[in-house]
């Protein structure tokens, strides 16, 4: 009887074990997030420099002021110059014209082109090379014969050759002048305005050969009279200079510019210690001519800067060596004694308005003809503002968001999402954390982090723990962090400060085996 009873008991045990699964709990520790919120999340990289060896960081604003269009100084105004050959001078009167024979011109009285431009005042040119533009040559005459005319300009070189312009002029009548015109592309042309005897600037020699064609006078004979003339008009069109030499005359141009200061940096209720702040205007002058700067207005928002900054400031010319400029550097300390520039800066203005005038050649040096310009080397007018990051802020907001991927590898999980914060800002930081799950559920909580210190390698630490389970982790979501910094007075910042956020899952997972 015992054997059947034992077998029956074993069968019962086996049946019970197959009908009930085996389960146990497994401890889970999974890192899911590691990121930082830094100054770069508040201030663009181009606006600050981290400190060196524990020194303070700096807000740095360096940019050009584009109030003056330097390229406009290299554009010559459209100008028309005229040369007249008449019967009382160059065009010899009383001489008959004959087909195939040059029209009689007096070599002793051939005129030259006198370059007289409307601006700048007193411009005297010795040499020039053009990067663009054209010359229109228009010729009119009163001779009752066809004329083949060739103009040669020895002082103008195009592709290494003297510029020549040939025109076939129709015959004139008693009522209508014979005329023809041509346009010459002057790109790359080189001018030498010093080849005419007795002139050291602003002059071009013109050589003329005029050959008579068919005579159309009713009598078949035409004799040049004192009233006859040949007139050439040279019109410079859209001329752009590449290089220029001589004396550039005197010219004054006004300009203004607005500079955005800290408008990209959200600093509520700021206070600042400006010790060590530097602010300056700079000119890198690459023009071989003297400049004088007049600062008419310096204004932060609605407040005018006072001080001895407005007077004329002389900027030396560049020195020309081997056809290239050696620039002169000039700077003006805007925070000099007596100036309210730094005092106005303490109020954290949003913009700076600058207006002024730049004068070319404030002292007449025309007798030396030593001005030089190469548009490949434009001058630069720029400003630099360096403010140590020793400031107080109440409510400075640092924001960032981090993606948390959905987790489906830990079914039956129960535990916490721990968010560990490490703060090195030398100020208390109040944090708000929102876990926005992709299934639409939002979790929000707050914490306060003690002050830390980069130079002392101290961290203010805090942890926020969010109860979670497998169902909550499955969709994933975004962790949004908002940190508010309150310094309660100016504090030095190194620029290396950060708040580190590390996320980890800790809890238990129920594992069942059927």
What is the Cα–Cα distance from 269 to 258, expressed in whole angstroms? 24
Decide: residue 235, CB within 10 A, 0-12 exposed, 13-18 middle, 19+ buried. Answer: middle
- Structural domain span for residue 161: 72-247
What is the Cα–Cα distance from 82 to 203, expressed in whole angstroms? 13
Structure tokens given for 363: 């002292």
Together in a domain, 437 and 494: yes
Strand, coil or helix: 81: strand
Question: Any idea which residue has 């533009």 for tokens?
Answer: 133
The answer to whether residue 255 is domain-embedded is no
Look at residues 370, 402, 423 and tell me which one is the last residue of a structural domain. 370
**Phi-psi bin for 338: left (phi > 0), alpha (psi -120 to 50), beta?**
left
The answer to whether residue 500 is domain-embedded is yes
Going across the sheet that includes 477-486, the strands are 394-404, 477-486, 428-437, 442-449
Structure tokens given for 378: 């434009």
Confidence (pLDDT) at 14: 43
Confidence (pLDDT) at 23: 65
For residue 185, give the CATH number of its domain.
Answer: 2.60.120
Together in a domain, 220 and 100: yes
Residue of 92, 189, 70 whose CA lies nearest to 143: 92
Together in a domain, 468 and 320: no
Together in a domain, 85 and 227: yes
Look at residues 337, 370, 403 and tell me which one is the last residue of a structural domain. 370
What is the Cα–Cα distance from 435 to 475, expressed in whole angstroms? 12
The answer to whether residue 191 is domain-embedded is yes
Together in a domain, 79 and 185: yes
Confidence (pLDDT) at 271: 64
CB atoms within 10 A of CB 81: 16
Residues of the chain under the 50 pLDDT cut: 1-7, 9-17, 264
Confidence (pLDDT) at 284: 96
Confidence (pLDDT) at 15: 46
What is the Cα–Cα distance from 272 to 391, expressed in whole angstroms? 4
Pairing of strands 222-223, 498-513: unpaired
The answer to whether residue 252 is domain-embedded is no
Structure tokens given for 369: 């003809």
Together in a domain, 141 and 198: yes
The answer to whether residue 12 is domain-embedded is no
Together in a domain, 189 and 106: yes
Together in a domain, 232 and 320: no
Together in a domain, 500 and 360: no
Together in a domain, 89 and 226: yes
What is the Cα–Cα distance from 51 to 160, expressed in whole angstroms? 57
- Phi first, then psi, for residue 413 (nearest 5°) are -85, 140
The answer to whether residue 99 is domain-embedded is yes
Confidence (pLDDT) at 39: 78
The answer to whether residue 382 is domain-embedded is no
The answer to whether residue 103 is domain-embedded is yes
What is the Cα–Cα distance from 450 to 30, expressed in whole angstroms? 26
Reported residue count of the chain is 514
Structure tokens given for 342: 């730094």
What is the Cα–Cα distance from 240 to 262, expressed in whole angstroms? 39
Together in a domain, 32 and 143: no
390-427 confidence digits (pLDDT tens):
766 666 777 778 777 766 777 788 889 899 999 998 88
Number of domains the chain is built from: 3
Is the CB of residue 211 less than 8 Å from the CB of residue 153? Answer: no
Is the CB of residue 453 less than 8 Å from the CB of residue 54? Answer: no
Cut 0.95: pTM above it:
no
Confidence (pLDDT) at 266: 54
- For residue 186, give every residue at least 6 positions away whose Cβ sits within 8 Å of its Cβ, in sequence order, or none: 130, 132, 133, 134, 135, 158, 239
CB atoms within 10 A of CB 176: 11
Together in a domain, 140 and 243: yes
Confidence (pLDDT) at 7: 45
């Amino acid at each position: 009887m015992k054997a059947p009873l034992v077998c029956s008991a074993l069968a019962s045990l086996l049946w019970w074990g197959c009908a009930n699964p085996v389960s146990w709990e497994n401890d889970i520790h999974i890192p899911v997030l590691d990121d930082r919120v830094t100054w770069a999340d508040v201030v663009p990289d181009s606006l600050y420099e981290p400190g060196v060896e524990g020194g303070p960081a700096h807000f740095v604003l360096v940019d050009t002021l584009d109030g003056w269009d330097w390229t406009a100084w290299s554009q010559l105004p459209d100008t028309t110059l005229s040369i007249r050959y008449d019967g009382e001078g160059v065009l010899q009167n009383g001489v008959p014209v004959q087909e195939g024979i040059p029209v009689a011109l007096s070599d002793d009285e051939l005129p030259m082109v006198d370059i007289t431009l409307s601006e700048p005042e007193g411009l005297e040119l010795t040499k020039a090379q053009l990067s663009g533009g054209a010359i229109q040559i228009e010729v009119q005459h009163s001779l009752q014969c066809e004329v083949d005319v060739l103009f040669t300009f020895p002082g103008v070189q195009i592709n290494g050759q003297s510029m020549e312009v040939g025109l076939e002029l129709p015959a004139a009548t008693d009522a209508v002048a014979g005329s023809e015109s041509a346009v010459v592309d002057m790109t790359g042309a080189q001018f030498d305005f010093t080849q005419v005897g007795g002139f050291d600037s602003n002059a071009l020699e013109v050589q003329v050969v005029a050959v008579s064609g068919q005579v159309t006078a009713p009598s078949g004979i035409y004799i040049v009279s004192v009233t006859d003339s040949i007139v050439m008009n040279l019109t410079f069109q859209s001329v752009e200079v590449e290089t220029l030499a001589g004396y550039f005359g005197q010219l004054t141009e006004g300009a203004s510019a607005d500079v955005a200061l800290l408008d990209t940096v959200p600093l509520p209720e700021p206070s600042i210690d400006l010790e060590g702040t530097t602010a300056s205007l700079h000119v890198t002058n690459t023009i071989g001519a003297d400049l004088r700067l007049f600062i008419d207005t310096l204004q932060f928002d609605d407040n005018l800067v006072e001080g001895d900054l407005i007077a004329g400031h002389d900027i030396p010319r560049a020195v020309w060596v081997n056809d290239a400029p050696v620039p002169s550097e000039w700077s003006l300390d805007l925070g000099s004694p007596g100036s309210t520039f730094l005092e106005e800066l303490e109020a954290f203005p949003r913009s700076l308005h600058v207006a002024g005038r730049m004068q070319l050649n404030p002292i007449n040096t025309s007798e030396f003809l030593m001005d030089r310009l190469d548009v490949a080397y434009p001058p630069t007018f720029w400003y630099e503002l360096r403010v140590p990051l020793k400031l107080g802020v109440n409510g400075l907001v640092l924001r960032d968001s981090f993606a948390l991927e959905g987790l489906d590898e830990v079914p039956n999980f129960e535990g916490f999402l721990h968010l560990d914060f490490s703060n090195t800002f030398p100020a208390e930081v109040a944090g708000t954390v929102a876990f926005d799950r992709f299934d639409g559920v939002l979790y929000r909580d707050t914490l306060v982090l003690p002050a830390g210190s980069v130079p002392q390698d101290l961290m203010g630490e805090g942890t926020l723990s969010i109860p979670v389970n497998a169902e909550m982790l499955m969709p994933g979501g975004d962790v949004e962090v908002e940190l508010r910094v309150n310094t309660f007075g100016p504090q030095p910042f190194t620029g290396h400060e950060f708040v580190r956020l590390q996320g980890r899952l800790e809890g238990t997972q129920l594992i069942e085996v059927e």
